[in-house]
Amino acid sequence: MKKTQLYLLALVIAAIGLGAFYYKWRVLNFPIRATEQTELWEVQARVQFQARKGPNKVTLQIPRDPPGYDVIDEKFVARNYGMNIVPGKRTRAVQWQYRSARGNQALYYRATVYRDQHPADYIDPPPLPAKPGVYEEPYLTARTTVLESVRERSVDSASFAGELIRSLAEPAGDGNVALLMERVKSLEQRAHLAKSLLADRQISARVIHGLPLTQTDATVSLMPFLQVWDGEAQRWDTISADNGVEGWPEEMFLWSISQKPVLEVEGNPRARLEFAVQSTLDDALEVAKARLEAKDKNLVAYSLLNLPLQTQDVYRILLMMPIGAFLMLLLRNVVGIKTFGTFMPVLVALAFRETRLLPGVILFLTVVSLGLLVRFYLERLRLLLVPRLTAVLILVVFLMAMVSVVSNKLGIDQGLSIALFPIVIMTMTIERMSIAWEERGAAFALKEGIGTLIVAILAYLVMSVDWLEHVIFVFPELLLVLFALTLLIGRYSGYRISELFRFRALATDPVEPVPPKAG
């Protein structure tokens, strides 16, 4: 009964850890590799106009939670202008105002955009039914004829709109189309013409704008798209205003669905709007952090990522300690290696982090063996325990200083990279080892000493795996999985591997084992 409870607890804890990990990895896109890079797009809209006398008011439609993309940062650059954001229904505009502008004016909107393929998280309300306009001849006949011929080739409102766009795109063959297209010069105007034609048939349509994020360092222009309302599916179907192809291209960044002009400069129709896009690569972790911040500040504020950098470095090491401790648990309780103390090997492994492995092992062996020699001599002087420990500590500091000085002379810099921490660990090791030496004999002490060193080296190797360090730091919840595994091993009652060796003689004993008879 107690075991079931334990298994259940371990399962729940592991599930929580894995769930949080999966959410951060897949949904929040935290990178699993340290060097992972994410593509970011810098999108810039530049408004240029000649200021006129009196107050100037500029309204620019800007993106608002575009589906498929995350705006992680935005900047408004307009010197001297007063600025405010005007939110609309699923739209957003920035309004710049300045009373006494003079000469050529340039205003900027910059956004840093990350492609995350998230779907639109809102449902569009049905639009008002479209009202047909009033037209004179010969336009009325031309419109009716064009619409009739398109109707022949379509099945629903979306394909109807697509066919319409396609016939408008080829005015050469058809006199009626040519008539309608007489004054239509741009894609934008073509889209609006299609919209008004659809209105003749009571089909609700709107023109929206997207920015293609395909070429980097390119000057691009907004692409108009025609959307028609599908009354059955209760959604807008998108049709390219250029070639009538249905659907929203993936690399298209939805700029605005506002039916107002994208740029409005009061009393200044000659204002120009230019777009530039640029793709950059950025550290995936930074991007994930910035996106999270844009979504919910608290999630980042209460995570390790927001700590001061020095503290983060400490945690990078600290969070690896459980990994080392877990490895030691496996080696001790499942394999059966004997070590000094319970966590001594992990501490030694931490000391190796400061010195690197090979110099660390050499330094460790040198200082410990020299320390042992001194310790044996002190033993002969009959010192009490605590004074003896202190004396050993002082000598260890001296030995380390000597090693540093000598290695510096020889031009090896590893000897210098000594921190405070290893000294304490070495002193403890020397004392433990000498006690074991006296009490249990040299063989025993050396066996435990070598065991400690082996576990420490393995723990160091595991703890210095870069991607593991990165994964644990970015996803500390994985330690919960480790915690669950530790709970499970906590009740491991099978044989240790060393026991198989120790009791091997029993397995070969000719005496046939008979369990005591019941009853």
Partner 1 sequence: MLNPFRIAKRLRAIGLTGIGQRNAEFVLMYNQRRNYPRVDDKLITKKLALAAGLPVPQLYAVVREEHEIEELHEKLRGRESFVVKPAHGSGGDGILVITGRRGDRYRRSNGALLAREEFDHHISNMLSGLFSLGGQPDHALVEYCVQFDPIFDNVSYKGVPDIRIISFLGYPVMSMIRLPTRMSDGKANLHQGAIGVGIDIPTGITRRGVWGREIIREHPDTESTIVGLEIPHWDELLMIAARCYELVELGYVGVDIVLDKDLGPLILELNARPGLAIQMANGNGLLHRLRRVQELEQQGTLSRDPAERVAFSKANFPTL
Binding flags for partner 1, 237-266, as an x/- string (CB under 8 A)? ------------------------------
For residues 233 and 497, which CB has a smaller minimum distance to partner 1 in the complex? 497
Paired residues of 272 in beta bridges: 48
Token pair belonging to 356 = 């690197």
131 binds partner 1 (CB under 8 A): no
Cis status of the peptide bond prior to 138, with omega within 30 of 0: yes
Cβ burial of 309 (10 Å; 0-12, 13-18, 19+) is: exposed
**506 near partner 1, judged by CB under 8 A:** yes
Asked if 406 and 415 touch (Cβ cutoff 8 Å), the reply is: yes
The site that binds partner 1 (CB under 8 A) totals a number of residues, namely 37
- Which of 155, 172, 410, 505 is close enough to bind partner 1 by CB under 8 A? 505
271: its two tokens: 């204002």
Indicate whether 518 belongs to the interface with partner 1 (CB under 8 A): yes
CA distance 478 to 484: 10
Binder of partner 1 out of 384, 410, 411, 420 (CB under 8 A): 384
- Cα separation, 185 vs 171, in Å, equals 12
| Residue in 376, 398, 421, 495 binding partner 1, rule: CB under 8 A | 495
* Residue nearer to partner 1 on the CB measure, 103 or 494: 494
Residue 137, interface with partner 1 (CB under 8 A)?
Answer: no
For residues 258 and 93, the answer to whether their CB atoms sit within 8 Å is yes
450 is an interface residue for partner 1 by CB under 8 A: no
Under the binding rule (CB under 8 A), the answer on residue 467 touching partner 1 is no
Smallest separation (angstroms) from partner 1 to the CB of 499: 5
Rounded to an integer, what distance in angstroms lies between the CA atom of residue 102 and that of residue 50?
8
**Angle, in degrees to the nearest 10, between helices 187-200 and 157-169:** 130
Region binding partner 1 by CB under 8 A among candidate stretches 29-37, 267-275, 285-293, 508-516: 508-516
Minimum CB distance to partner 1 smaller for 123 or for 507 = 507
Residue 269 as a binder of partner 1 (CB under 8 A): the answer is no
Distance from the Cα of residue 183 to its chain's centroid: 50
- Which of 441, 446, 450, 465 binds partner 1 (CB under 8 A)? It is 441
- Give the nearest distance from C-beta 482 to partner 1 in angstroms: 19
Under the binding rule (CB under 8 A), the answer on residue 385 touching partner 1 is yes
Beta-carbon count within 10 A of 336 CB: 16
Angstrom distance (rounded) from CA 469 to CA 478: 12
The residue among 53 and 382 lying less far from partner 1, judged by its C-beta, is 382
Q: Which is nearer to partner 1, 132 or 387 (CB)?
A: 387
Interaction between residue 499 and partner 1 (CB under 8 A) = yes
Site string for partner 1, 392-431 (x = CB under 8 A): ----------------------------------------
Nearer to partner 1, 394 or 500 (CB): 500
Alpha-carbon distance of 275 to 111, in angstroms, equals 11
DSSP conformation letters of 264-321: EETT-TT-EEEEEEEEEEEEHHHHHHHHHHHH-HHHHHTSGGGS-HHHHHHHHHHTTH
Q: Is 439 in the site for partner 1 (CB under 8 A)?
A: yes
**Coil, strand, or helix at residue 108?**
strand
Q: Where in 289-348 is the site for partner 1 (CB under 8 A)?
A: 333, 336
Q: 336 or 359: whose CB is closer to partner 1? A: 336
> Near partner 1 by CB under 8 A, which window of 188-196, 344-352, 479-487, 507-515?
507-515
Closest-CA residue to 218 (of 251, 189, 169, 242): 251
Question: Strand order of the sheet with strand 252-256?
Answer: 235-240, 223-230, 205-212, 252-256
What is the x/- site pattern for partner 1, positions 171-190, by CB under 8 A? --------------------
Burial of 56 (0-12, 13-18, 19+ CB in 10 A): buried
Residue 23 binds to partner 1 (criterion: CB under 8 A) = no
Question: Of 23, 421, 444, 467, which one interacts with partner 1 (CB under 8 A)?
Answer: 444
Q: At closest approach, how far in Å is the CB of 495 from partner 1? A: 4
Q: Tell me the window of 172-180, 193-201, 302-310, 506-514 that interacts with partner 1 (CB under 8 A).
A: 506-514
Distance CA(300)–CA(288), nearest Å, equals: 10
Taken in order 397, 403, 407, 409, the sign of the CA dihedral is: positive
Binding site for partner 1 (CB under 8 A): 333, 336, 382, 384-386, 435, 439-441, 444, 491-497, 499-509, 511-518
